[in-house]
Amino acid sequence: MNPINRLYENRNKLREINLTANIKIWNFILDHIEEKDINTSSMNLETLNFAITSEKLINQINNQNFNHNDVEKVLTSIASQVFKMNSIQFNIDNIKKVNLSIIKSKIKAILNCPREIQSHFCKNPNKQNCDEAFQTSMLNEKIDYLGLKACKAKPNMYIYDGKLTDKKKGAKSIDVFISNKNTRSEDFFLNTEKYKESLIMLGYQKTIMVSGGHQDNQLKDILLFINKADQYIKNKNNKILFFVQADGGYCVDKMSKIKDAVVDKNKIFVGTTVDIIEWIINVSKKI
């Protein structure tokens, strides 16, 4: 298993899926939507929100393999692209001046491009939490035989001030929940005391492929989660374990620094997907 290669491959597959979906929506906009069918409102200087007002058209759209919200989001995205990148070509100086005719012109230009160029105008898979979902999937491939399951933590939960909380401010998210297949994260977070003797692993997931300013901030997020986990362990006397699943070249390069941030190395583990799988297997053998 090479997590980095597989994560890149998954991103590309999702990008192709997104493009196929977008092409259908772009063509629908060209063929079926008119100015009379929509209302617009500016959200900020670069964002124009669209609302489809025709119930008949909404019903028609929802009978496709996409819905009217998807169409509205594409209209908003294209309008933003036009204003930020093509304001000179379309002679506009305000996002409110982007109309449906301009959007259709942009769509026609996109559709006339090669497929590899069209993909640049679709939703970026990296903004869909696709890496976290795939990291979870890779865990399940290897721990299923142990009777364990990794899943997205539900409801959205965070760790702050030595406690698990549903309050996001100042906290770090719990991205993945691992326990036996009969234990639901919803039940655990509702009554953590009930599971204080159970095998529970709470994880934070990051994929950082290359270095840069934003990536450095993501590294700070990892270190902050570790700090919050150490605070929790000091505050609570239970068997909950924590881990950071950190993939990508940048994370590998910084792994020593990440591991050095861990105080309680018995209850907090840091590593790549391959490392985490090995750790889970070893932990499960001791139960």
| pLDDT tens-place string over residues 6-33 | 999 999 999 999 999 999 999 999 999 9
Instruction: State both tokens at 250.
Output: 């940048």
At 210, the pLDDT band (50, 70, 90 cuts) reads confident
Instruction: State both tokens at 21.
Output: 């979906």
Instruction: State both tokens at 276.
Output: 């985490």
pLDDT score of 215 more than 70: no
Could you say which DSSP state residue 262 is in? -
Do 40 and 167 reside in the same domain of the chain? Answer: no
CA 6-9-13 angle, to 5 degrees, is 135
In this structure, are strands 38-44 and 163-165 parallel, antiparallel, or unpaired?
Answer: unpaired
The contacts of residue 146 (CB under 8 Å, 6+ apart) are 280, 281, 284
The mean pLDDT of 262-276, rounded to a whole number, is: 96
pLDDT tens for each residue of 245-261 = 999 999 999 999 999 99
pLDDT value for 272: 97
pLDDT tens for each residue of 78-125 = 999 999 999 999 999 999 999 999 999 999 999 999 999 999 998 887
pLDDT value for 214: 65
Q: Virtual CA dihedral for 189, 195, 201, 202, nearest 10 degrees?
A: 20
In this structure, are strands 241-247 and 148-152 parallel, antiparallel, or unpaired?
Answer: unpaired
Q: How far apart are CA 128 and CA 59, in angstroms?
A: 27
Do 176 and 279 reside in the same domain of the chain? Answer: yes
Range of the domain at 268: 129-285
Do 108 and 214 reside in the same domain of the chain? Answer: no
Do 184 and 215 reside in the same domain of the chain? Answer: yes
At 197, the pLDDT band (50, 70, 90 cuts) reads confident
At 68, the pLDDT band (50, 70, 90 cuts) reads very high
Do 191 and 245 reside in the same domain of the chain? Answer: yes
Domain boundary among 63, 92, 126: 126
At 63, the pLDDT band (50, 70, 90 cuts) reads confident
Do 135 and 121 reside in the same domain of the chain? Answer: no
Ordered alpha helix ranges (H), the chain = 3-32, 55-62, 68-85, 100-111, 115-118, 130-143, 185-190, 213-235, 249-253, 255-260, 273-285
pLDDT score of 48 more than 70: yes
CATH of the domain at 211: 3.40.1350
Do 26 and 96 reside in the same domain of the chain? Answer: yes
pLDDT value for 171: 82
Domain boundary among 126, 141, 167: 126
Q: Which residue from 233, 250, 234 is spatially nearest to 242, judged by alpha carbons?
A: 233
Do 154 and 51 reside in the same domain of the chain? Answer: no
Instruction: State both tokens at 219.
Output: 């590294």
The mean pLDDT of 134-145, rounded to a whole number, is: 96
Whole-model pTM? 0.83
Do 67 and 144 reside in the same domain of the chain? Answer: no
Domain boundary among 64, 91, 126: 126
pLDDT value for 247: 95
Do 89 and 159 reside in the same domain of the chain? Answer: no
Do 246 and 264 reside in the same domain of the chain? Answer: yes
pLDDT score of 231 more than 90: yes
Q: How far is CA 21 from the centre of its chain?
A: 19
**What's the number of domains the chain is made of?**
2
pLDDT value for 213: 60
Average pLDDT over all residues of the chain: 92
pLDDT score of 128 more than 70: no
The contacts of residue 166 (CB under 8 Å, 6+ apart) are 155, 156, 157, 158
Do 175 and 93 reside in the same domain of the chain? Answer: no
The contacts of residue 13 (CB under 8 Å, 6+ apart) are none
